[in-house]
């Protein structure tokens, strides 16, 4: 992220290091820890860390500026991609909408890597803010799409609560492949047959995998591939829409999606999750506290967005360390 100023880099490094060592995004805990490491007064460190995520008008002195966190999304994506093995040809992204009590709603795009969802683009809005999510998702996609080489096959997963025809089209227009889960209401038909069937009965029993080119929904028809899978331990089947041909897609790819839960604290989601406990990610220590993000005292969405940059870097660092440890301990 060589476009950042030295103070911005220093603040990001300090915040990320402090978060990892304290397992918290709390300003007080990180400040106290860094103060002990550097031999500084806690209030001095606190003010410096606080100014890092503040807007320019709230900072002391002259020639102050606000960190444009969206300028870091493409570099962050390129950073993650640079760490992938050279033979990797497919990237899995997950879109997620998560509420933090009654304060914020976080719309985030996460790259799924090593069983973890690493945030690479996000937007924080007030939980009660009215309006469509479309402009936010459109901006996030636009910010990172050019950072991914066209040689990569990119699938984008999203849960039932996020499906919308315009979101499907935004993903396709970016040159990526939607992998959007839908609920069981609605109908579909298999061309050239004009008979509509209920989505609730695509598969009727567990241990069944099904796929076909279809036209889905009568009200807002969408020509796509419908994937269905009902595995043992699930309350019902997964229904997934994609632009990939049936023979090119596997509904089990959607199983990567629960990796995003490790970014958030338990119970923070805005949706009704149906994944059984056995499919939850192994990083329960990260998920259970989420860098203590759910306890944040921040009230300003823009400040929260800047703090999320440190959270993203901290998460990436932990994944890198975990990967190195795993390699070094292989027999």
Phi, psi of 197 (to 5 degrees): -120, 155
pLDDT at 231 over 90: no
pTM, full prediction: 0.85
Q: State whether the Cα torsion 98-8-62-49 is positive or negative.
A: positive
Domain boundaries, the chain: 1-67, 70-289
- How do 187-189 and 116-126 pair as beta strands? unpaired
43: helix, coil or strand? helix
**Quick check: 214 and 189 in contact, CB under 8 A?**
yes
DSSP designation for 199: G
Higher-scoring residue by pLDDT: 122, 289: 122
pLDDT at 245: 95
State the average pLDDT for the chain.
85
Residue 138's Cβ-side half-sphere holds a number of Cα atoms within 13 Å equal to 7
- CATH architecture of the domain 70-289 equals Alpha-Beta Complex (3.90)
Beta strand 222-230 pairing with 208-216: antiparallel
Instruction: Give 253-263 pLDDT, tens digit per residue.
Output: 777 665 455 44
Angstrom distance (rounded) from CA 121 to CA 156: 13
Sheet with 90-100: strands ordered across: 116-126, 104-113, 90-100, 153-158, 177-182, 238-242, 222-230, 208-216, 187-189, 197-198
Q: Read off the pLDDT of residues 59-100 as tens digits, 9 standing for 90 and up.
A: 776 667 889 999 999 999 999 999 888 888 899 999 999 888
Q: Is the pLDDT of residue 113 over 90?
A: no
């Amino acid at each position: 992220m060589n476009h950042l100023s030295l103070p911005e880099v220093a603040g990001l490094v300090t915040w990320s290091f402090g978060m990892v060592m304290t397992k918290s995004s709390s300003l007080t805990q990180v400040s106290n820890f860094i103060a002990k490491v550097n031999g500084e007064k806690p209030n001095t460190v606190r003010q410096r860390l606080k100014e890092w995520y503040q807007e320019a008008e709230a900072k002391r002195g002259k020639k102050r500026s606000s960190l444009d966190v969206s300028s870091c999304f493409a570099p962050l994506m390129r950073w993650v991609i640079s760490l992938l093995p050279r033979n990797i040809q497919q990237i899995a992204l997950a879109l997620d909408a998560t509420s933090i009590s009654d304060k914020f709603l976080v719309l985030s795009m996460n790259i799924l890597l090593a069983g973890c969802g690493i945030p690479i683009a996000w937007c924080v809005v007030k939980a009660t803010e009215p309006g469509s999510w479309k402009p936010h998702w459109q901006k996030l996609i636009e910010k990172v799409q050019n950072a991914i080489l066209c040689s990569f096959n990119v699938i984008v997963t999203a849960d039932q609560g996020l499906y919308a025809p315009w979101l499907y089209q935004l993903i396709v227009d970016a040159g990526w492949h939607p992998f959007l889960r839908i609920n069981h209401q609605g109908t579909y038909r298999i061309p050239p047959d004009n008979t509509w069937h209920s989505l609730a009965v695509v598969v009727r029993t567990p241990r069944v995998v099904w796929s076909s080119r279809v036209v889905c929904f009568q009200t807002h028809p969408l020509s796509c591939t419908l994937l269905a899978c009902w595995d043992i331990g699930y309350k019902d089947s997964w229904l997934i829409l994609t632009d990939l041909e049936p023979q090119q897609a596997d509904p089990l790819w959607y199983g990567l999606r629960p990796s995003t839960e490790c970014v958030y604290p338990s119970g923070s989601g805005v949706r009704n999750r149906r994944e059984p406990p056995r499919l939850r990610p192994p990083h329960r220590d990260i998920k259970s506290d989420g860098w203590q993000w759910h306890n944040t005292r921040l009230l300003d969405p823009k400040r929260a967005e800047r703090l999320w940059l440190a959270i993203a870097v901290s998460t990436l660092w932990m994944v890198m360390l975990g990967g190195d440890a795993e390699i070094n301990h292989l027999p």
